Structure 1
């Protein structure tokens, strides 16, 4: 069921993108100065704008349906429940001492060496 709604949602999204790109530009950025656009009471109700509204409403409905389906799927369980098993207990262990010739690792807390000033 979720896959069917998801495919319909994807097709609606692509159709909505295509129908918006087909519409005539009113000019003016963000609807300013283009004769009012969708804000005015006398907005032109062309066939493309009606189709756009229909696709937008269907897109919102499929979005809500997908949200409800996802909420029902995860009701009563958490992410930790789905992992299976219990969380491992933290163990206090001391790290192993590095090999004496390994100069790439920093010295351990108990080890103190001579402090040599840097020659810059």
Structure 2
């Protein structure tokens, strides 16, 4: 049930974004350029009506998903999950015999010659 409402919610959100982007821009913020939400006269175009229908559907699915999520978690609290037990310690890999940091270095050039040149005495 919750998954179906979530899918409908996502479709409504994408549709609402598409419809809003298709509408003609009238300039100005908050509908100041003509008949918008802030004025008494609003344009009753098909895109405007569809935008309102999608917005109402989006709000209804949002509230429904909130109610379902709250019903699934009743009686549970994040604070209840906190315990006094220490955090688990990760085990370290055992060291094989004969392995040390020197094995990780590349071989010296020329066999046993030192890596750094010796200072002249």
Same fold (TM over 0.5): yes
Query: Do the aligned residues in 1 keep the contact of 2:30 with 2:38 (CA within 8 Å)?
Result: no
Distance 2:30 2:39 in 1: 14
TM-score between both structures, scaled by the size of structure 1 = 0.64
Match of 1:27 in 2: 27
List alignment gaps of at least 5 residues for structure 2: 87-121
- Off by >3 Å, runs of 4+ in structure 1: none
Decide which structure has the larger Cα Rg and report it.
2
What is aligned with 1:116? none
Give the secondary-structure state (helix, strand or coil) at the position aligned to 1:45. Answer: coil
What CA distance in whole angstroms lies between the structure 1 residues aligned with 2:35 and 2:45? 15
Shift, 1:13, TM fit: 0.3
Aligned residues: 86
Q: State the shift of 1:42 in Å.
A: 1.6
5+ residue gaps, structure 1, are 91-120
Q: What root-mean-square deviation, in Å, do the aligned CA atoms of Structure 1 and Structure 2 show? A: 1.9
Q: 1:1-120 maps to which residues of 2 (within 5 A)?
A: 1-32=1-32, 34-81=33-80, 83=81, 87-88=83-84
